[in-house]
Amino acid sequence: MSESKSYHQRRYREDPEFRENAKARSRAWAKNNRERKRKRERARLYARRYGITVSEGKAMWAEQGGLCRCCGTYLKWDDAQCDHCHDTGDIRGFLCGKCNRGIGLLGDNLEGVKRAMEYLA
């Protein structure tokens, strides 16, 4: 770690005024750079949760034709939600928000979907 970075980290920990000023600068940057912040957060999420880059996610979304894998409606990339198996972490595809929530509310498994189908039949 560079001396400058360790100095700032120590000062952030130990100096309340420095810490408050740093937080204010961070909030101001986030407010003025909402789109950049959103893209950074998505990139971090994809790397941490799914082990892929945003470019790899976009390629998967494009490979499925930009359509929800469940209902087939068109998805803008910004609205696409990454669906994954909670046991293995494998990505199943990209879904619209309604389908992703619906599958999650049905327990994220076939038994829940089958019960819903039986109920509707």
C-alpha to C-alpha distance for 69 and 61, rounded to whole angstroms? 9
DSSP state of 67: B
Does the pLDDT value for residue 3 go beyond 80? no
Residues 6+ apart with CB under 8 A from 5: none
Domain annotation for the chain: domains and CATH numbers: 55-120 (3.40.1800.10)
First to last CA, the chain: 63
- Record the pTM: 0.71
Residues 6+ apart with CB under 8 A from 102: 70
Residue 64 — very low, low, confident or very high, per pLDDT cuts 50/70/90? very high
- Summarised one tens digit per residue, pLDDT across range 94-118 is 999 999 999 999 998 899 999 999 9
